[in-house]
């Protein structure tokens, strides 16, 4: 499944450092909305696994994607996500994503990105020594903006206000770390019909981490149990951001 047929993808990536011979034929073209509606009815609940590599951070409405992916996998299936860690990419200075951001996009059934998403992506994207990704061991020695502030305003003006427009412009909408993503899945699964839980998140490898989601949202016997886990994940998120701060200050 992809957003365009193989021929269009080859044309898109021909000028980039991509071996286009490795691009596979595309069985299903998908332009957003309910993923499960693009598959036949008899395929619901039959997939062992769904893999999305560096896709979720681009989606206007991640909750709808995860809900529909859940309808496609078996009860013992898994959704595997490769996700960029904001600490080691051009998203370094961008605002962290929280559950309120996802819920807002879901409430308007966003098919495109909102104005603030466009502005934040363009205004705060940076390079480190000329590269847009790096590893947890590399110092932040030469951070530079990728775009001007005026460019950010142009993108802001070009986008619809609430994500309901027809023309999609590609941005990183959501900025994540392993702990913050675990918190996102925990909180949204408690608030909307999303029968998923984090089975595990890997430590960040290079500039990305992998999240494994399985059916069955977390059930808590008392609100205090849920809140204790939320506090734990929030503390872990702050710890992850501390590492980024240490890199910035040259402590590491």
The domain spans of the chain are: 31-249
Q: What is the pLDDT of residue 74?
A: 96
Q: What is the pLDDT of residue 252?
A: 59
Instruction: Give the angle subtended at the CA of 108 by the CAs of 107 and 114, to the nearest 5°.
Output: 120
Q: What is the pLDDT of residue 167?
A: 81
Residue 57 in tokens:
């951070």
CA distances from 79 to 125, 173, 200, 211 (A): 28, 20, 11, 8
> Rounded to an integer, what distance in angstroms lies between the CA atom of residue 4 and that of residue 203?
32
CA distances from 162 to 47, 105, 235 (A): 33, 8, 31
> Rounded to an integer, what distance in angstroms lies between the CA atom of residue 143 and that of residue 105?
31
Yes or no: say if 38 and 1 are a contact pair by the CB < 8 Å rule. yes
Q: What is the pLDDT of residue 38?
A: 66
Cβ-Cβ contacts under 8 Å for 63 (sequence gap 6 or more): 102, 103, 105, 106, 188, 192, 194
Residue 181 in tokens:
């993503």
pLDDT tens for the chain, 252 residues long, are 888 899 999 998 888 878 999 999 998 888 766 777 766 677 888 999 999 999 999 999 999 999 999 999 999 999 999 999 999 999 999 999 999 999 999 999 998 999 999 999 999 999 999 999 999 888 888 999 999 999 999 999 988 777 776 788 899 999 999 999 999 999 999 999 999 999 999 999 999 999 999 999 999 999 999 999 999 999 999 999 998 898 888 765
Q: What is the pLDDT of residue 33?
A: 67
Q: What is the pLDDT of residue 96?
A: 95
Residue 79 in tokens:
């959704």
């Amino acid at each position: 499944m992809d957003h365009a047929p193989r021929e269009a993808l080859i044309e898109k990536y021909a000028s980039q450092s991509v071996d286009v011979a490795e691009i596979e034929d595309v069985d299903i073209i998908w332009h957003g909305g309910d993923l499960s509606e693009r598959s036949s009815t008899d395929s619901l609940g039959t997939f062992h696994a769904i893999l999305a590599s560096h896709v979720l951070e681009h989606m206007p409405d991640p909750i709808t994607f995860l809900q529909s992916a859940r309808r496609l996998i078996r009860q013992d299936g898994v959704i595997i996500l490769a996700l960029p860690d904001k600490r080691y990419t051009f998203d370094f200075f961008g605002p962290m994503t929280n559950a309120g951001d996802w819920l807002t996009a879901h409430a308007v059934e966003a098919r495109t990105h909102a104005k603030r998403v466009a502005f934040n992506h363009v205004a705060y994207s940076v390079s480190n020594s000329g590269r847009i990704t790096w590893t947890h061991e590399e110092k932040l020695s030469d951070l530079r903006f990728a775009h001007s502030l005026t460019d950010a305003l142009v993108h802001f003006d070009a986008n619809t206000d609430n994500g309901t427009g027809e023309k999609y412009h590609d941005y990183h909408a959501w900025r994540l770390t392993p702990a913050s993503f675990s918190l996102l899945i925990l909180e949204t699964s408690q608030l909307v019909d999303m029968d998923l839980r984090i089975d595990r998140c890997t430590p960040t490898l290079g500039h990305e981490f992998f999240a494994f989601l399985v059916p069955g949202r977390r059930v808590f016997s008392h609100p205090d149990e849920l809140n204790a886990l939320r506090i734990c994940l929030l503390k872990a998120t702050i710890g992850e951001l501390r590492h980024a701060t240490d890199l910035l200050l040259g402590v590491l």
